[in-house]
Amino acid sequence: MADSRDIAISAQDINKIFNPGSDEEVVALQDINLEIEAGEFISLIGPSGCGKSTLMRLIGDLLQPSSGELLVNGKSPRQSRLDRDYGMVFQAATLYEWRSVTKNVQLPLEVMGYAGDERQQRAQAMLDMVELGAFAKHFPWQLSGGMQQRVSIARALAFDPSVLLMDEPFGALDEFTRERMNLQLLKIWNQTGKTIIFVTHSISEAVFLSNRIVVMSPRPGRITEIVDNTLPYPRDFNTRSDPAYIQLVARVRDLLRDAIGSGAANDGEAE
Amino acid sequence: MAQAGASAAASPRGRLGYYFPTLAIAVGVILAWEILVLAFDIQQFLLPKPSAIFSEFMHQVSLWLAPGERSILFESSGATFWEAFGGFIIGCGGGVLVALITSRWTIVSEATMPFAIAANSVPIIAFAPIMNNWFGITNPASKMAIVAIIVFFPTMINTVRGLTLVDASQLELMRSYAAAPRDILLKLRIPNALPYMFSAFRVASALSLIGAVVAEFFGGPRATLGVYITQEASAFDFAKAWTAIMMASIIGISFYLVVLYVERRLMPWHASLRDSG
């Protein structure tokens, strides 16, 4: 990668072992080396157990690596978390059901001590961006799953964090809603220029969204290959019928098949 | 919030239709009671007719309203209500407070929970004679103490559960904001605990009246429902005893409904979730 650009995230020789030394020891991540530039859209893809969520959680300081060096914006993940550099979106929208939509978006702003006026303005701006401006006073249970997830994206962006961590955010949505959400997310990325780490197990989603795809394999979780995706932005509905897109999907699928195959081979050796 | 109530009970007719089966059953049971007492010629001291209970009740109402007269029944109802209400406030308040304090330290709350659950299975009412000795048999504090102890444990147990059973992702979200413990408590744990607390309050509202009346069976001032019922029953004035039982029921149900109303006003999101799900 070109030196002139800012490095948002750099991981060197990261290992993560759960329950070390016990019978339930699991090597979740092994020898992870990854550099992500500021403003990149990175997808982490792999079968279950490949550690893609674990890697995201290490970056977000929800977990700590067993060894290796991890830097976010040149700081430790913990410092970055304390500096409020992370916006997080989970598979479930995790809205607080006792708060209206606007109050949910304002939650991080309240915690971070923003003034009331600014909270309202920012929440409204974020809701407008996810096209839910008219639903500010609604409660979460009055919204569909896709709308709830858009609220949670608005909430993650409300305090203008530099890194957006998304853990299978559209995994629970139907195919049509998911494709609409993908388009909207690209628009938001284009508008805000955030660094996005996007965990998914949908190949088409990963290829459609990101400029680089990190393919991972399970047991132990490793990076198999980092695929550059040179499909031009802006991408739209037609992108999915572009031969280059279809080729890339096929390539990632092959890589994943190999990844699962090698994981299975390791299982065989272990027994 | 306006949308929250816009379900089955939107129009007056819809509301009437919704409650009609319940009312029909109540009227039917009272009618059947009256007819059966007449048909089988049941002695009044065994089971008075609803009409006899009602006319005794109206007699007490006229005494209560007449200047210069006293209605022991209404005085008793008032006294017993205050015992139940006072005990409810002290016991529920104490339960919430202790839960808040112990849940601050996971170890403390985990260590105290088994005791709370065990204490919750103890028939607290058995302490009534002891409370009568401690506080004085005619002192309302002896009944309030029983009620407070009875409602304390379910309230504390439920509140601790509500404070600790928080969705892991919602906690991680707070962590990602680098939120202070105070914010996590006020903005996440306490709102999360509210439905648990109110389900305890609803149980406690019924328990508090039961506790007060039964505690009065062990002795108390003349003008309390428990004493009134025991005295009138032993004097074979069953219409009076039943009127007192009816008053106790009315107070108990009203108390429950008030708690339910407060719950729905305070947590429209929860009531609506429960109705739809």
Distances (CA, A) of B245 to A204, B54, B124: 70, 12, 22
In this prediction, what percent of chain B has a pLDDT beyond 90? 68
> Taking 50 as the threshold, does the pLDDT of residue A268 lie above it?
no
Residue B272 near chain A (CB below 8 Å): yes
Whether the per-residue pLDDT at B6 is higher than 50: the answer is: no
The C-alpha atoms of residue B18 and residue A122 are separated, in whole angstroms, by 44
Nearest-10 crossing angle of helices B12-39, B50-65 = 110
pLDDT tens, A43-90? 999 998 899 999 999 999 999 999 999 999 999 999 999 999 999 999
The neighbouring-strand residues paired with A9 are A36, A72
- Is residue B1 located within the same domain as residue B83? no
A259 has pLDDT over 90? no
Cβ distance A98 to B179 less than 8 Å, yes or no, reads: no
Asked if B269 lies within 8 A of A88 by C-beta distance, the reply is: no
Q: How far is CA B60 from CA A126, B133, B223, in A?
A: 64, 33, 14
Of B170, B179, B269, the CB nearest to A94: B170
Tokens at B134, concatenated:
């401690």
| pLDDT for res A172 | 86
Q: B253 and B154: one domain? A: yes
Residue A5: pLDDT over 80: no
H helices present in chain A, as ranges: 52-59, 77-82, 101-111, 116-129, 145-157, 175-192, 203-209, 243-270
* CB-count burial class (<10 Å; 0-12, 13-18, 19+) for A225: middle
CA distance B99 to chain A (A): 21
Residues facing A26 on adjacent strands:
A18
| Rounded-to-5 percentages of helix, strand, coil across chain A | 45, 25, 35
Phi (first) and psi of residue A143, to 5 degrees: -110, 155
Provide the mean pLDDT of chain B: 89
The CATH number that applies at residue B65 is 1.10.3720.10
Q: Which of A60, A65, A83, A32 is nearest to A216 (CA)?
A: A32
Statement to judge: residues B108 and B221 lie in one domain = yes
Flag if B269 and A62 touch (Cβ within 8 Å).
Answer: no
How confident is the model over B108-122, as pLDDT tens digits? 878 888 898 898 888
Q: Are residues B70 and B12 in the same domain?
A: no
Calculate the alpha carbon distances from A260 to A26, A220, A257 in Å.
Answer: 17, 11, 5
Cβ contact A111–B3 (<8 Å): no
Closest CA of chain A from B178, distance in Å: 5
Q: Residues B182, B125: one domain? A: yes
* pLDDT value, residue B269: 77
How many interface pairs between A and B have CB atoms less than 8 angstroms apart? 62
Q: Is B239 helix (H, G, I), strand (E, B) or coil?
A: helix
Q: For a pLDDT cut of 70, what percent of chain A falls above it?
A: 94
Per-residue pLDDT band at B251 (split at 50, 70, 90):
very high
Q: What is the Cα–Cα distance from B254 to B209, expressed in whole angstroms? A: 11
**SS3 category, A269:** helix
Residues 6+ apart with CB under 8 A from A200: A43, A44, A45, A168, A170, A171, A206
Chain A residues closer than 8 Å to B176 by CB: 60-62, 81, 86-88
What pLDDT was estimated at residue A263?
Answer: 53
Asked if residue B189 and residue B212 are part of one domain, the reply reads yes
pLDDT, average across residues B117-141: 90
The domain spans of chain A are: 1-85+164-169+199-271
Nearest CA to CA, how far is B2 from chain A (Å)? Answer: 10
The residue range of the domain holding B122 is 50-276
**Which residue on chain A is closest to B183 by alpha carbon?**
A111
Residue A163 parent element (H or E): strand A163-167
Q: What pLDDT is recorded for position A2?
A: 44
User: For residues A93 and A149, what is the distance between their CA atoms, to the nearest angstrom?
Assistant: 5
How are beta strands A212-217 and A222-228 bridged, if at all?
antiparallel
Beta-carbon neighbour count of residue B244 at 10 Å? Answer: 29
Are both B225 and B90 inside the same structural domain? yes
Cross-sheet strand order for the sheet of A163-167 = A86-89, A163-167, A195-200, A41-45, A212-217, A222-228
Q: Which residues contact B267 (CB under 8 A, 6 or more apart)?
A: A98, B194, B195, B198
**CB A82 to CB B169 under 8 A?**
no
Residue A114 DSSP one-character state? -
Model confidence at A267, in pLDDT bands (50, 70, 90)? very low
Rounded to a whole number of angstroms, the CA Rg of chain B reads 23
Identify whether residues B78 and B5 lie together within a single domain. no
Number of structural domains, chain B? 2
Å from B177 to nearest chain A CA? 6
Of residues B172, B183, B273, nearest to A141 (C-beta): B273
Residue A99, CB-side half-sphere exposure with 13 Å CA sphere: 21
For strands A195-200 and A212-217, give the pairing. unpaired
**Is B266 an 8 Å CB contact of chain A?**
no
Between CA A186 and CA A234 the distance in angstroms is 8
With 50 as the cut, is the pLDDT of residue B9 above it?
A: no
**For A94-146, how does the pLDDT look when each residue is reduced to its tens digit (9 = 90+)?**
999 999 999 999 999 999 999 999 999 999 999 998 999 999 999 999 999 99
- Closest residue in B to A84 (Cα) is B177
The per-residue b/e assignment along A174-202, b for 16 or more CB within 10 angstroms, e otherwise, is eeebbbebbbbbbebbeebebbbbbbbbb
**A140 contacts in B (CB within 8 Å)?**
269
Question: Do A94 and B3 count as a contact with CB atoms less than 8 A apart?
Answer: no
Judgement on whether residues B7 and B72 belong to the same structural domain of the protein: no
Contacts of A90 in chain B (CB under 8 A): 169, 172-173
Digit-coded pLDDT (tens) for B54-108: 999 999 999 999 988 899 999 999 999 999 999 999 999 999 999 999 888 878 8
Do B57 and B27 fall into the same domain? no
Record the pTM. 0.84
Burial class of residue B132, CB neighbours in 10 A (0-12, 13-18, 19+)? buried
B72, B191: one domain: yes
pLDDT tens digits along B15-55: 777 888 889 999 999 999 999 999 998 887 788 999 999 99
> Please, what is the angle between helix B72-104 and helix B50-65, to 10°?
90
Question: Strand, helix or coil at A219?
Answer: coil
Q: In this complex, do B177 and A84 lie within 8 Å of one another by their Cβ atoms?
A: yes
Residue with tokens 């049509």: A176
Pairing of strands A195-200, A41-45: parallel
Position B274 pLDDT exceeds 80? no
Residues B17 and B89 in one domain: no
CATH of domain A1-85+164-169+199-271: 3.40.50.300
The pLDDT tens digits for B188-246 are 999 999 999 999 999 999 999 999 999 999 988 999 999 999 999 998 888 999 999 99
B176 and A60 within 8 Å at the Cβ level: the answer is yes
